[in-house]
Amino acid sequence: MKKVFEISVKVDQPILVGQDETAGRRQLIPILSGQLSGEHINGTVLPGGIDSQIIRPDGVCELSARYAIRLDDGEGLYIENNGIRTVPEAYIEQVKSGAFIDPELYYFRTTPTFEVYSDKYRWLTRHVFSCQAKRYPDRVVLEFFQL
């Protein structure tokens, strides 16, 4: 497993769509901006992305984020990132209410896929990647690993 880049994404406050004891809490988190930093690839996260989440009654968060990057050479990169975040039972009620939990206390992993528009970045579509993430009140930090 090799770390290829990191993205720090600035996010807005969650927008509550709906919540009940059966479905859980559906929320949308707007992606505002951010930076992609790596040894061979760098860029800026474009505004307009979204992180769609359902926090299930058992506290597990299923998420599906979609966002775009303008790379430093002007090329575009589109990322779809799906995964889960789980927290210890003692923190489930906090998560269900939308409260912040220390990132060291939970498991947060995703499996990203990439859409590229240049042969220079085609390697992103020819490998499997895993992502380890940490959620903070105003941002998410994602480390991308090539498997």
Q: What average pLDDT does the segment 8-20 reach?
A: 95
Q: Is 104 in contact with 123 (CB distance < 8 Å)?
A: no
Which residue ranges make up each domain of the chain? 2-146
If one compares 101 and 120, the residue with the highest pLDDT of the two is 120
Can you tell me the distance from the alpha carbon of 29 to that of 9, in angstroms, rounded to the nearest whole number?
Answer: 11
Question: What is the CATH number assigned to the segment(s) 2-146?
Answer: 2.40.160.20
Percentage with pLDDT > 70 across the chain: 98
Structure tokens at 118: 């240049």
Phi, psi (5° rounding) for residue 128? Answer: -100, 140
| pLDDT exceeds 80 at position 138 | yes
- Span of 64-68, 95-99, 113-117, 138-142 with lowest mean pLDDT: 95-99
Residue 48, pLDDT score:
98
| pLDDT exceeds 80 at position 145 | yes
pTM of the predicted structure, to 2 decimals: 0.90
Can you tell me the distance from the alpha carbon of 56 to that of 65, in angstroms, rounded to the nearest whole number?
Answer: 17
Average pLDDT, the chain: 94
| Chain segment 50-97, per-residue pLDDT in tens | 999 999 988 899 999 999 999 999 999 999 999 999 988 888 777 767
